[in-house]
């Protein structure tokens, strides 16, 4: 299964989820672009570092993050979520700036709750989240866009800060439901560690961001042709929303009587 997330003009974000991994292809080593950040005893590197396994039990989960910070780019990962069905087990792949008023883009699988499998996405801008959408995934999702976030009501560009790429499995019982620990350990697998992004050499120096906007020859993800969905992608995106969208924060007037700015404008897609 494959799903795509594109922020036109500034950040291309691609998540690839394979139920079965393909072997025999040339893979980038995990350690070229990533480091383990927590739960070392629950982390394993496989197949000459072309695949990693993260494990969750009652003692800990595990996580990793990119060595560099990025201002724009195309980021992807192939993920096999835990086979056991249990709420509270969260497998995630996301970008975050790791500041108090942070920017963040989330892909989250809460438990192995399928089929059908549910994917939750969220967007934070300067510390404000609450922009959840939930999609029921289906087979043969290959390269079909499932979410577009337009830069409306936000001054300047998005994201406003350089971001790291993160993968985790962790205990989310406090908000996602009780975990059935009799099914532990829960294991998630990750592949595809290449990154096509504009590295910010100094996250404390705003001037170091400049090259990520103007280096268009190398930053192909920022080319005009990649700043919006194609006609075919637009049709696919509307079809996904019509058939598989289970929750959209823009339609939740109980939770958000005053909708977010991006919810008040026509999508144009």
Following DSSP, what letter does each residue of 93-142 receive, concatenated? EEEE--STT--EEEEEEES---SSPEEEEEEEBTTB----EEEE--S--T
Among 199, 188, 229, residue whose Cα is nearest residue 64:
188
Cα–Cα distances in angstroms (integers) from residue 232 to residues 73, 187, 223, 227, 229, in the given order: 22, 36, 19, 15, 8
Phi first, then psi: what are they for 232, rounded to 5°? Answer: -65, -45
| 240 sits in which H/E element | helix 231-244
Angle at 147 between CA 36 and CA 53, to 5 degrees: 25
The rounded distance, in Å, linking the Cα atoms of 30 and 22 is 16
Catalytic residues: 104, 108
Query: What is the rounded CA–CA span in Å between residue 102 and residue 95?
Result: 10
Tokens 């007037």 correspond to what residue?
Answer: 253
């Amino acid at each position: 299964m494959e799903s795509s997330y594109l922020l036109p003009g500034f950040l291309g974000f691609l998540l690839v989820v394979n139920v079965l991994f393909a072997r025999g292809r040339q893979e980038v080593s995990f350690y070229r672009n990533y480091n383990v950040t927590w739960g070392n005893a629950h982390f394993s590197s496989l197949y000459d570092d072309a695949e990693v396994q993260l494990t969750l039990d009652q003692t800990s989960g595990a996580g990793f993050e990119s060595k560099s910070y990025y201002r724009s780019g195309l980021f992807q990962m192939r993920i096999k979520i835990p086979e056991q069905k249990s709420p509270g087990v969260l497998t995630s792949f996301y970008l975050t700036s790791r500041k108090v008023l942070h920017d963040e883009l989330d892909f989250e699988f809460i438990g192995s709750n399928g089929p059908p499998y549910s994917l939750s996405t969220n967007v934070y801008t300067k510390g404000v989240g609450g922009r959840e959408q939930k999609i029921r995934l289906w087979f043969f999702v290959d390269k079909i866009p499932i979410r577009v976030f337009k830069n409306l009501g936000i001054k300047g560009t998005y994201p406003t800060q350089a971001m790291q790429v993160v993968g985790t499995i962790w205990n989310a019982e406090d908000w996602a439901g009780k975990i059935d620990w009799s099914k532990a350990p829960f294991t998630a697998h990750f592949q595809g560690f290449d990154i096509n992004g504009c590295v910010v050499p100094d996250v404390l120096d705003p001037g170091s961001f400049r090259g990520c906007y103007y280096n268009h020859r190398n930053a192909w993800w920022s080319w005009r042709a990649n700043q919006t969905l194609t006609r075919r992608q637009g049709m696919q995106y509307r079809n996904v929303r019509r058939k598989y969208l289970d929750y959209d924060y823009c339609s939740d007037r109980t939770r958000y009587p005053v909708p977010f700015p991006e919810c008040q404008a026509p999508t144009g897609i």
